[in-house]
Structure formats: C-alpha cells, structure tokens
Structure 1
Amino acid sequence: MTDQLDGIFSRSFGQGSRPVLAVHCSLAHSGAWRGLAEVMAEEITLTAFDMLSHGRSPDWDGQGNYQLLNAKAGLALLTEPVDLVGHSFGATVALRMAMARPHLVRSLTLIEPVLFAVARTDAPEVLAAMEAQSQPIDAAWAAGDVELTTRLFNRLWGPGEPKWPDLPEPLRASMMRAMPVIPASYGTMYLDENATLAPGALDPVTMPALLATGLDSPPVMAEIARGLCRRLADARTVSVAGAGHMLPVTHPNETAEFLRRFWAGA
C-alpha cells in the first residue's frame, strides 16, 4: 500500500504569498485547478497532486482504502499551514486530511463534496432520487462496459460541454482509466465505511470551513453541504448561480471571488 504512493505527481501554480493545497475531482487531474490558479496567480501559490489512477500518478493497485491512500498522499505535501481546498471526491480527501492534521489547515473549502452518507442520514428521499438517476451508470458498469459507464457518469457529473464524442481520445482514455475507483469507493462515499461521520470524528475540524455548491448541481449536493455544515464547528455554505458540479472548472472567477471573501473573513 505504501509503494504505490512513491510516484505521486504534484505541481504548483501562481506566485502569490498565500499557500493553497488543492485536491481535484474524480476523472480529472491536478491541472483542473489551472483556471482558478491563473485568476488568483498574484494572490496564491496553489499546489495540487494527481490522485492514484489519475494524471501522472500511478494506478491504484486495488489494495487499501482509496480515499485514505489519497489523503496520505496529500498529507505528504502538507508541510506548512495552508488553505486546503477539495472538489467532489477530492473534497472528501481534503476533509480526511483536515481531520488528520488540523494544526496545518488554516481554512477548509469543500466544493461539491460527494459524501453521500450525509444525505443517506439527513435526506434519504433526495439521495434515492439521485440513485435512481444513476441506475443507467450502474447497469453499464455491471455489464462490464467501462466506456459507456464513463460516458454516462460524465453526462451526469461533468461540465456538459464538450460532449463525449467531441472529447479528445486521450482525455476519454484517461477518464476511463480512472473510472473503476468510483464504484470501488461506494462503501466509503455511501456507507461511510471510514467513519467520517462517527460521533466525535469531526471534532478536530475546528478551522473555518466553507461548503460550496453549484445551484444547478443535483439537489443531493446541497443536502450534503448543509449536513456537513451542521456537523462542523465553524462552517458556512455558499452557492454559485448558473454553476453545476464542476463549478471550480467552469466558473473559476466566481470560485476565486467566494474564496477571497471566505479567506478575508476567516
């Protein structure tokens, strides 16, 4: 389990005085933060890494817990107090990092965190509606059709444009490469097998936290944001009009603006 973390790839953007560590979403890579980093280039130095099975990092070998392994990879980069930002699955990794090293996290921003176990407890009917919407994805995976699974998943959670046939073949291939980690993480995301929501587990997360969502994202995401906000000691929520699940990629200017406001207040 340790060896596969040796080749984790990371990069930095910007030359600002504020250190930021960011964790990307599933099927993407560290370069997904480039747009946001360019908007804030004079304000922040943003470091990001490729999760296992993504970008230039090695493939996950199927051993160990995928979320916790990526949190361990991120913690290796967490050597000074930073503003920690995560998106989607990467937001759940960032949360685990904050739980493990709260003294090195000045603030925590979770953008569209996909910890569906929150909604399973707080809003089961909303989660059930999302699960029904996901049935074609599950059926394609059960049938062994990785390309169709990835295409349908991208249709539900991706930016909407460009459409799958219009994506460059290397990009489609990289997304298909990463796709298996998503069904493999069902227990982590839906059943909370890592006990993120267990009594007392989130007590170390006392730094200011922001839960950000896109107003056009599936309704379950707002429920998760509200649920985590209630469970964290010092948290607030923000929603971005006209944005969906991929808001830090599709709306870097709006993301930069709510980060500036949050950090100024924090």
Structure 2
Amino acid sequence: MSGLNLRQWPGAGDRPALALHCMMGNASYWGPIASDLADLVQISAPDLPGHGQSPAWAGAPPDYHTHVTRAVAPLITRPLDLIGHSMGATVALRIAVAAPEAVRSLTLIEPVLFAAAPEAEDVARLDELRKLVQSDAREEATRRFLAAWGGIDWEQQTPAGRSRLMQQIDLVTAGNDALVHDSGQILRPGGLESIDAPVLLVMGAQSPPVIPAIADALAARLPDVGRATLPGAAHMLPITHPRQVAELIRLNLERA
C-alpha cells in the first residue's frame, strides 16, 4: 500500500482514472472535475506526501520526486487514465515513461519539467528560492513561489494556513532537482517515445512563458499528442476553470 490518503468520487467504476495534484495543493480540488467526468471514468486522487491528510515526507533519501513517484505507483493496479497537474503532471509523466503499458491515456496540465526547456532565468529563480529557504527566509520564499505559481492571496491566509504553506516550501525546493536536472531521467532517449497512449498537454494562456516552452519540447517527442490552451487561465486552471479543464480531459479520454 502507498500509505497516502486517497479520495475517490462516484463515477464509471469499470474505467478508473488517477489524478495527481500540484505542489501546495491537495486532492480535493479534483472533485468538480471528477463530477463532470463521472459518466466516463471514476477518478481517485491521493493527497501527495506532505499534503492534505497524507503523511509528511521525512526528508530522507530518495529525493522527494522519487518518493512521491514510488508512493503513487502502487495505486495503479490495472491500465488507467492518468491525469496530473504541475508537479503532479511530472510524476504522471515519469510513471508513463517507466511503465507505458499501465497508462490508457495521459493528460498533463502545466507540467513543470523545467529540464525540458531550461532557461537561465528560470533556473536562477529556482536557485534563489532554494537559497531563501536555506537561510530560513521561508515566508519570503513562499510569497515568491505563490506569486509565480500559486494563485493564492497570502494576505487572505489564516496563521495556520501560512504556517502550512511555509512548511511545504521545503517540498518545493526538495523537488526542484528532479524538475531542473531530470534526476528521474524522464527525458532519457526513447522514454517519451515509448508512450503510445494518447497524450494531451493543457496550459493556461496566462501561465509563465516556460510552460509553453516545456509543452513544445515534450510534444516534439510524444508519438500521439494534442495540445490545448485555455484563454484567461493561468497555472491553477484546474481550480479556477474546472468545467473547461474537464471538457478538455474528456476529449483525451474519448480518444483512448
């Protein structure tokens, strides 16, 4: 067993789907999307380690991205539709590369695999974040991260909420080695090319420029890939635009 807290919504039980959330999120935000797709699939979603009601990450080897991947993998007991957002999308992609036969369709929403499109400015920004955390300036690091990726108003957070987010910033920096340097070897030769399931890359039109650059790099190597950009949306589109995201996921599910 994975030891993760698993949420599941009503749906078509003969077609399971697994959804993986972003950093500093939790599985609950898949609820509206699961409801919209209930006629086609039954979505389950774990709270990733250190998030929601799942156990904290102890910080010991392996690295955080590997730890998450190993925790999620036991939830896949038959070929299924795999959906991921942000960091969760990179875990979904890592699983698909390692076991393409386990994936019926793959929907990647804003995958933050920076190694696919490394820009000095993006790498420097992540390194700056790491240095802030190392110097115990967690509040400043958290504010900067949320300003770029979170879509969360820091000033509206309760003291408990701020404390939780500042703890989770450690997970952000712990996962960056895999995202920046591809320590999980997601981009290894022949890896992306081995995924024969239909893949859909979804992004917000107002997301950081690195997101379409990553999508370009991944799409160039995936054998069966579609792309969709949602007008008016940014990085947190599964939360801000759940109905439109569900409609896009449906298109990919129907292709499988």
Give the TM-score, by structure 1 length: 0.88
Counterpart for residue 220 of structure 2? 230
User: Root-mean-square deviation (CA), in Å?
Assistant: 2.0
**What are the equivalent positions in structure 2 for 1:66-105 lying under 5 Å apart?**
66-105=64-103
CA contact (8 A) 2:49 2:57 kept: yes
Q: 2:157 aligns with which of 155, 167, 171?
A: 167
> Tell me, what secondary structure is at the counterpart of 2:192?
coil
Instruction: Provide the aligned length of Structure 1 versus Structure 2.
Output: 254
In 2, Cα distance between the equivalents of 1:137 and 1:251? 28
Misfit runs of 4+, over 4 Å: 131-136
Q: Is the 8 A contact 2:11 2:35 kept in 1?
A: no
SS of equivalent to 1:109 = strand
Query: Which residue, out of 17, 20, 24, partners 1:20?
Result: 17
Q: Which sections of structure 1, spanning at least 5 residues, go unmatched?
A: 121-126
Q: Which runs of 5+ in 2 are unaligned?
A: none
Q: Which residue of 1 aligns with 2:63?
A: 65
User: Aligned in 2, Cα 1:80/1:131: closer, same or farther, shift over 3 Å?
Assistant: same
1:70 and 1:132 map into 2 onto residues whose CA distance is 25
Deviation at 1:170, TM superposition (A): 3.3
Normalising by the residue count of structure 2, what TM-score does the alignment of the two structures yield?
0.91
Deviates further, 47-56 or 135-144 = 135-144
**Map of 1:47 onto structure 2:** 44
- Residue identity matched to 1:25: C
Question: 1:22-58 CA deviation, whole Å, 9 max, x = no partner?
Answer: 1110011111212212333343311011111111111
Give the C-alpha shift of residue 187 in structure 1: 1.9
Using the alignment, how far apart are the partners of 2:127 and 2:177 within structure 1?
Answer: 17
Q: In the alignment, is the contact (CA less than 8 A) between 1:136 and 1:152 conserved in 2? A: no
Residue type matched to 1:196 in 2?
A: I
Contact 2:123–2:180 (8 Å) recurs in 1:
no
Contact 2:63-2:174 within 8 A present in 1 as well: no
Counterpart of 1:231 in 2: which secondary structure?
coil
| Equivalent in 50, 56, 59 of residue 53 of structure 2 | 56
Identity of aligned residues (%): 38
Distance in 2, matches of 1:118 and 1:191, equals 9
